[in-house]
Structure 1
């Protein structure tokens, strides 16, 4: 399977799960992995956004690219 087909598949999977709760594991480098729980908020052609509540009980919107998913820099788990 080519990477273009995989990328379209990932976009469709994220699009189908808008509004659902997810667990995000992001590799920030140097053995630093951040885990957050949030809701898929929007889907755009190059990226998608997730609304999370941080450790201070404030809502934040974080964005990730589909390439992050393809390269396993970011992992999404649908709850």
Structure 2
């Protein structure tokens, strides 16, 4: 992934509407995995609409800082 928040936002702007696999740190040794679609980008966050049926969440937001610090990883399908 790119090395600045501006570059990350530009890359995600080009991928709006595409399926994505998100792996997020959920604790010390736990990783949460979500399948969804990148739906919107905002100046500080981006939204992923989930389609994996985990819990009652239908969308989740992440900050570009999460990507920059490797707290989450994105894999476009």
Q: State the TM bucket, normalised to the shorter chain.
A: 0.7 to 0.9
Aligned ranges for residues 1-79 of structure 1 at < 5 Å? 6-53=4-51, 54-55=53-54, 60-79=58-77
> Which aligned runs of 4 or more in structure 1 are off by greater than 4 angstroms?
none
Aligned-residue offset at 1:52: 0.3
Q: Which runs of 5+ in 1 are unaligned?
A: none
**What SS is found at the alignment partner of 2:23?**
strand
Q: Distance between the aligned counterparts of 1:27 and 1:16, measured in 2? A: 25
Work out the CA distance in 2 between the residues paired with 1:74 and 1:14. 14
Between Structure 1 and Structure 2, whose CA radius of gyration is higher?
Answer: 1
Unaligned ranges ≥5, structure 2: none
More helix by share: 1
Once residues 76 and 9 of structure 1 are traced to their aligned partners in structure 2, the CA distance between those partners, rounded to angstroms, is: 15
Shift of 1:55: 3.0
Q: Give distance in 1, aligned partners of 2:57 and 2:27.
A: 24
Per-residue CA distance 1:21-57 (angstroms, 9 max, x = gap): 000000012111011110001100000000002236x
